[in-house]
Chains A and B, each alone.
Chain A
């Protein structure tokens, strides 16, 4: 479904990706783990069209995504839940959801989906007319995911959805991801929480300083836990700041 081949990208003189290749097949839940600065978010931004790669090729369902704007890539069926949630703080929850469906023309279907999101994430229904900026971190995360789903993406990319959340909310977010995948959405998940990602993913890539260090099914990666430990330290005990 998604094919990333030998992607190089960076910010000015800083090179963040040095020849990353990965693929995601339809229906898969693929995890992308690695330490801070490994290039995970850069890869996401590059696939979403926010950042132009200097080299390499990205194809989605057989068609190249290179040179397309973010708004065009979303129309091809890839939605991003970005790092830090980035909901629109001065817009109401309802408006945030409505904008998520910008590319859709089926007014009725959009309204139905908004209702569905409010059932799936009851807090969004409760805070429907409240400004997004007044929501707590966990609520904002739910809103960010719901907003991305409103475009009915075929591939959902999530960048650290558990970042800055309390342990209970982290559980909820991971349960939600499993549920999403069960409902047929293909997911590319970036996480620092390696253990949890290994628990739910079909395949996992370990990124380190802009390169794919290793990839495989979770069992395979668990066996290489020394490598994981060496590069990531004790990830589970990591304190996160929002």
Chain B
């Protein structure tokens, strides 16, 4: 009974955290697939959504509407960054784009430090996030359950979009061969803007749950999500959306699993264990778990 309880608890928590990680990784990989840009300013999209939650959350507006506005802000910021920062250097080398993303990330963090506060501020989140309910002797957090469901639903919707719509198919094609995508008449700017919009949307959704868990938002609130996203994407395979999702869930399961299994004295080193295992995976599969099309192409 006790074992079953633990296993169920593990599954729920792993799917909840893993789903969140999967969304983070997807937001990063959807842009990387097309531009070969690891957008390290991705974390700052989480931050922007977080500050929107902070500023509007205390007011009279219902939380659900605040949440929608926050996601919208992350999308807008993402589109703005693409237009202002990344489009001008699109023709330049991958390194230039990478450095641009670091610069944008630092700029946004410092703006937050300067204009808002260097310190994290408490965000009023709905009590929902901290409430639990009992099923048998299983204690389930509503926040966890919500992130589990929301991430699965979003993954489903995103899959539908990528498979069923012309724009979605174009996005996948662009990840295969960007120049060829243009040669069949798909407008480059439109595809890239769509990728950034989706990336911003995912960052916004992630922000709701991430900041819901933390209960506060500060200038560096995005650094963990972007790191997690990057690691999950590398483990899963940078060139595959499926890989990003698998990497996210794996990392989530690993984190939750270690939390359960490690003795109390080692719990502080949980992240070190996670990364050691990640290193091991990469030693045996440097391409990540799922190979992308660029590497698996058959002649």
Instruction: List A residues at the B interface (Cβ < 8 Å).
Output: 48, 50, 69-71, 74-75, 79-80, 82, 86, 88-91, 95, 98-100, 102-103, 133-134, 137, 147, 151, 164, 242
Contact = CB atoms under 8 A, between A and B. Distances in A.
A82 B176 contact: no
B186 A90 contact: no
B179 interface: yes
B176 A69 contact: no
Given A88-B172, A88-B180, A91-B169, A103 B185 contact: yes
Nearest to B170: A99
B182 A70 contact: yes
26 contacts: A69-B188, A70-B183, A71-B183, A71-B185, A71-B188, A74-B183, A75-B185, A82-B183, A88-B176, A88-B180, A89-B296, A90-B175, A91-B169, A91-B172, A91-B173, A91-B176, A99-B169, A99-B173, A99-B181, A100-B184, A102-B184, A102-B185, A133-B296, A134-B298, A151-B185, A164-B299
B298 A99 contact: no
Question: What are the nearest 10 A-B pairs in CB distance?
Answer: A103-B185, A90-B293, A74-B185, A70-B182, A102-B185, A88-B176, A88-B173, A242-B299, A86-B180, A89-B293
Contacts of A90: 172, 175-176, 293
A147 B297 CA distance: 19
The interface residues of chain B, by DSSP majority, are classed as helix
A98 B296 CA distance: 23
B187 interface: yes
Interface string B165-207: 0100110110111011111111110000000000000000000
B296 A99 contact: no
B293 A133 contact: yes
Contacts of B182: 50, 69-71
B44 to A, nearest CB: 30
Interface string B263-299: 0000000000000000000000000000001001111
Contact of A89 (B176, B184, B187): B176
A102 B181 CA distance: 10
A99 B175 CA distance: 14
Given A88-B173, A88-B176, A102-B166, A133 B184 contact: no
A50 B173 contact: no
A147 B183 CA distance: 11
Nearest to B296: A133
A94 B256 CA distance: 41
Contacts of B173: 88, 91, 95, 99
Q: Which of B170, B184, B297 has the most C-beta atoms of chain A within 10 angstroms of its own C-beta?
A: B184
B169 A133 contact: no
B160 to A, nearest CB: 14
A102 B168 CA distance: 12
A133 B296 CA distance: 8
B176 A48 contact: no
Contacts of B185: 71, 74-75, 102-103, 151
A90 B174 CA distance: 11
Nearest to B191: A71
B259 to A, nearest CB: 36
A134 B299 CA distance: 9
A164 B299 CA distance: 9
Contacts of B169: 91, 95, 98-99
A90 B242 CA distance: 12
A79 B176 CA distance: 19
A71 B293 contact: no
A99 B184 contact: yes
